Amino acid sequence: MRLLHVLLLLLAAAAIELAPRVAGAGGDNLVFDIRAQTGHFEPSELVVPANKSFTIRVTSAENTAVEFESFELHRERVVLPGETITVLIPALAPGSYTFFDDFHHDTPEGAIVAK
């Protein structure tokens, strides 16, 4: 009987711990990842839900700094080699929003597509 109580307590604690993360994954705190590596962005096209704010984690796997920039989104951030930064993006109207590496213009542009 005592073992059952312990198990129930452990389950309750796990539920309390996991609840916020599950809620976040449901759409209140959307997070997407973009990686700059070997001269391109991965993914090059990121599909996000329209009319919902979200966060992009940008990681540079390059040997030099990259500048994650988007004129349409009004964002400009330097990412040092090996670093991951978070970029806050407000709710977007449906459409395509390009981004590029302003330090390496030969890197193909990427796009965030809000649907």
Partner 1 sequence: MTGVRRRTKILVAVVAAAFLAIQFVQADRTNPAGRGDLVAPADVSRLIRRACFDCHSNETRWLWYSHVAPFSWVIARDVSAARRRLNFSDWTEYTADPETKKHKLQEIVQSIAGGDMSPWYYRILHSGARLHPNERELIIRWANQEATTAAP
Smallest gap from Cβ 72 to partner 1, in A, equals: 9
Choice between 8 and 91, CB closer to partner 1: 91
Q: Which of 73, 55, 65 has its CA nearest to residue 110?
A: 73
Q: How many CB atoms lie within 10 A of CB 6?
A: 9
Which residue lies nearer to partner 1 by CB, 34 or 89? 89
Instruction: Provide the token pair at 107.
Output: 């890197």
Tell me whether residue 41 or residue 54 sits nearer to partner 1 (CB atom).
54
Closest approach, Cβ 23 to partner 1, in A, equals: 23
- CA angle in degrees (0–180, nearest 5) for 109-34-54: 105
Is 85 within 8 Å of 55 (Cβ atoms)?
no
Residues that bind partner 1 (CB under 8 A): 71, 74-78, 85, 87-90
CB of 73 vs partner 1, minimal distance in Å: 8
